[in-house]
Structure 1
Amino acid sequence: MAITISDVANEAGVSKSTVSKVLNHWTTISPKTVARVQAAIDKLHYVPNARAVSFARQAAKNIVYLTDLGQGTAYQNPHMFDIMSGVHHELTRHHYTLTLVDTSEESYPGERAIQEIQRRSADGLIIHGSAVNEVLAQHILKDNVPHIIIGHPNFESRLCWIDTDHALAGEYAAAHMLACNYYDVLFVAGRKSDILSSQRLKGFLKGMLNQKHHIPNKRICYTNATRLGAYETVLPVLQDRASLPQAIVCENSTLALGVSRAITELSLSIPKDMGFLTFDCYPYAGIIDPAPTVIDINVYDMGIQAGNMMIRKLEYPDLLIQSFTTLPILIQGKSTVPC
C-alpha cells in the first residue's frame, strides 16, 4: 500500500496541514518540527504527489506548457524541446511540476489553452507563440491568468512574452561575413511565411546594407524548410561555376546539411572555394564537415528564463513582461576565415 501524507503526519505526531506546509517550505514552521517531519518522510520513504504538496496552499503547484506535440515536431522545431527542458529545470528548482498539453489537434487555434483556463487546473500557462491568437489573448487577460508566451505575438497586446532577437542574430552573421571579406553571399532561407527565418534574413540584409553591401534577390534562396529542399534549391545555383558566391549563409542547421551535400557532390572546397556559415548548432551542425562557423542561441537558457519569469509572474500578478532575451553567440568553425 502506498504511503500517504496521513501516514507521515501520524509518524511525526503532527497534522496533515503541518506536513504539507513543510513540503511547501513554509518559513513559519519551526526547525525542530521540520526535522521531525523530514525524519518521518525518510523513514517511510514517502514520495509526495502534487495534490498533497498543494494541500496547505490551495494551489496546484503546476504549470501547463502548451505546444504542438504532433509527430515529427522534434525535427521541424527542435528548439522547442531545449526550451521545455530549461523551463522544467527552473520550475523544478522552485518545487513546481510541468504538464505538457498538445495543441496539434485543436479544432481552432487556442482551444486547448482556453480549456485549461476554464478548468483552472494549473497556477499558470506557458504557451508556444504559434498557439496564440487574439481570441486566446482576450481570455488570458480577462481571467487574469498568469502566463508567459514563448515568442513575440504577431499582434499588439498586453500579453507577457519573451523571445530571442533573431534579427540581431542575422546582423551578427552579416558582421562576420564582412569581417571575412565575403561580400557576395548566398542566403539560404526557409519558407517565406516562416517568421523566424524572415527575421534572421531581415537582420542579415540590414547588417550588410549598413556597411553599403546590398544583397540582390537572386542571392536569396527560399526553400520548403527541409534538408532535401535546401539541397535541390542550391544545387543548380552552385553548378554555375562562373557566378559562385563568395560564401553561403544557411538559416538553420537542417538547411545547412542539405547545402553541405550539394557542395560535396560538386567537389567544392570549404573554405577554399567559398565560406560557409549556419545558424543553430542543433541538431546537425556537429556532423557537417568541415566544422561550420555557427551563430547560435542558447534556447535552453531561454527556457530557464521563461521558467524564472513565470515564477515572478506568480509572485507579482501585475508584472508586465515583454522582452527579448538570450543574446546570440558566434562559434568560430573551420568554414570561414576572418581577415
Structure 2
Amino acid sequence: MGVTIKDVAKKAGVSTSTVSRVISDHPKITEKTKQKVRKVMEELQFHINENARNLVQKSTKTIGIVMKSSARESFHDPFFPEVLRGISALCHNQDFSISLTTGESEDAIYQDVIKMVQGKKVDGIIVSYSKQDDKVVPYLLEYGIPFVVIGKPLGEANNITYVDNDNVKASREAAEFLINRGHKKIGYIGGSLKFEVSKYRLQGFKEAVLLNQLNLTEDYMKNPESPELIGKAVQELMALNEPPTGIVAIDDLTALNSMLALREQHVNVPEDVSLVSFNNTIVSEFSNPPLTSIDTQIYQLGYEAARCLIEEISQPSLYKRSIIIPTIMVERETTKPLR
C-alpha cells in the first residue's frame, strides 16, 4: 500500500489538513512548516495524486496549444518547436501540462479546440498564430475560457491578451539594413496575407521603400500562399528588367528555400544577391552560407504567452494585455555591401 497523507502527517507531527494545505501551497501555512512537511514527503517518497487534487480544485492544470497547421507542417517549421520550448519551460515551473491540437486540417484543428474546451480538458489555451477569418479565436471569446494569442489579433486586439513583436518596425529595419549597404533594388518574399505576421512585415517593407524613396513597383513584392510557390516567386524577381540585388524573406525557412531557388538559377548569395530573413532559428545558423536574420526571440514569445495565460487562469482580469518582445539584428554571411 502506498504512502498516504495520514502517514506524512503522523511523521511530521501535524494534522492531515495541514499536509493538504502544504500541498496546495496555502498562504496561511508558515514557510517553516511547509519545509518540514515537504522534507517528510520526500523521505517517505509521497507523491501527490494530481487527478484527485485537480478534481478538488476544479482545475486540469493543463493548457491547450493550437497549432497553426497540421502537426507535420508545424514541426517542420523551426518557429513552432522553439515557441513550444518557451511555453513548456514556464509550464514546467508552474506544474502545468500541455495538450496540442492534432488535426490535419483547419476544420479538424477547430474541432480539437471544441473538444478541449467543452470537455473541460484544459484551463486555458494558447493560439500560436493570428489569422484572418480564423474560427478559433471568435469561439474562445464567445465561450469565455482564458486564452492568449501569439501575434497581434486581427480585429478585436483590445479584447484579447497577446504577445508579439513589432513586425512593422522589424521589417522596416530589415529593408533598411540592405539599403544602408547600398542596395536600391530590393525584393520581398512574404507569405499568405491571411496571417498577421505576413501583413505587418509587408507593411514594414513598404514603409522602408517609401521613406527611402526607392523606385520599386509591386512586382518586387511577392507573397506566395505556400512554400511550394517560393521558387516561382524567386524566378519572377530575377526575371525583372532590373532584378533585385537584395531580398528580404519573411522567415528563415522562406530564406532557405529562396537560396535553393537562386542556386538553381546560378545566382550566388551574397556575391550576386544579399539575403535577410527573420526569426534567427537553427536554420539561419546552419544554412550555407549562414543567414543574416532578425532574432524575434521566439522562446521568449512562448514563455511570455504561457506566463500571461497562467496568470489569467489564476486571477481572471477584465483588462487585456499586449506584450511586445523586442527584435535584434544578427548579421551573418548572406549580406554584403553593394559595390
Q: Aligned residues, how many?
A: 332
Matched, 1:326 2:325: yes
> For the structure 1 residues 82 and 217, does the alpha-carbon distance in structure 2 shift closer, same or farther, using more than 3 Å as the test?
same
Corresponding position of 1:80: 80
Shift of 1:187: 1.0
Contact 1:239 1:266 in 2 (8 A): no
Shift in Å at residue 173 of structure 1?
0.9
TM-score, length of structure 1 as denominator length: 0.83
CA separation in 1, counterparts of 2:323 and 2:292?
24
Mapped partners of 1:275, 1:50: distance in 2: 54
**Equivalence for 2:201:** 200
Compared CA separation, residues 266 and 159, structure 1 to 2 (3 A)? closer
**Mean Cα deviation higher: 228-237 or 166-175:** 228-237
The 2-side partners of 1:270 and 1:78 are apart by: 22
Does the Cα contact within 8 Å between 1:254 and 1:283 map onto a contact in 2?
Answer: no
Alpha-carbon offset, residue 2 of structure 1: 4.9
The answer to whether the 8 Å contact 1:127/1:150 transfers is yes
Structure 2 CA distance for partners of 1:97 and 1:36, relative to 1, 3 Å: same
RMSD: 3.1
1:83-126, Cα deviation, whole Å (9 max, x unpaired): 23212212332333333344556757754444444444544333
* Structure-2 residue corresponding to 1:238: 238
Question: Unpaired runs of 5+ in structure 2?
Answer: none
With over 3 angstroms needed to count, the CA separation of the structure-2 counterparts of 1:108 and 1:336, relative to structure 1, is closer
- The residue that corresponds to 1:124 in the other structure is 124
CA displacement 1:290-329 (0-9 Å, x = unmatched):
2221112012101111122223324542242241411221
Whole-angstrom distance in 1 between the partners of 2:138 and 2:71? 27
TM score, norm. by length of structure 2: 0.83
Which residue type is aligned with residue 73 of structure 2? T
Partner of 2:248 in structure 1? 249
Q: Distance in 2 between matches of 1:165 and 1:110?
A: 28
Aligned match of 1:215: 216
| Residue 258 (str. 1) matches residue 273 (str. 2) | no
CA contact (8 A) 1:146 1:310 kept: yes
Of residues 3-12 and 81-90 in structure 1, the stretch that sits farther from structure 2 once superposed is 3-12
Work out whether 1:149 is the aligned partner of 2:153.
no
Assess, with a 3 A threshold, how the Cα gap between structure 1 residues 236 and 278 changes in structure 2: closer, same or farther.
same
Query: Alignment partner of 1:284: what SS?
Result: helix
* Contact 1:168–1:203 under 8 Å retained in 2: yes
- Measure the CA separation in 2 of the matches of 1:259 and 1:52: 53
Amino-acid identity (%): 23
Segments of 5+ residues of structure 1 without an aligned counterpart are none
Equivalent positions of 1:181-200 (< 5 A) are 181-200=182-201
Counterpart residue number, 2:179 = 178
Give the residue type in structure 2 aligned to 1:196: V
The answer on 1:134 being equivalent to 2:133 is no
1:99-114 equivalent positions in 2, closer than 5 A: 99-102=99-102, 104=104, 110-114=110-114
Q: State the distance in 2 between where 1:88 and 1:72 align.
A: 19
Amino acid at match of 1:137: L
SS in 1 for 2:148: strand
On the 8 A contact 2:175/2:248 being kept in 1, the answer is no
Answer whether contact 2:71 2:103 (CA < 8 A) is retained: no
- Deviation readout 1:265-303 (Å, 9 max, x if unpaired): 333333332221112222522232222211120121011
5 Å-filtered alignment, 1:66-77, equals 66-68=65-67, 70-75=70-75, 77=77
Tell me how far 1:219 sits from its aligned partner.
1.0
Q: How big is the shift at 1:67?
A: 0.9
Q: Deviations over 1:212-270 (max 9, x none)?
A: 224311112332432x5323431364367x63312111111222112212333333333
Structural mapping, 1:160-175, within 5 Å: 160-175=161-176
Per-residue CA deviations over 1:54-90 (Å, capped at 9, x if unaligned) read: 577x252613223137341334644233223212212
Matched residue SS, 2:333: coil
Query: Any idea what SS the aligned residue of 1:213 has?
Result: coil
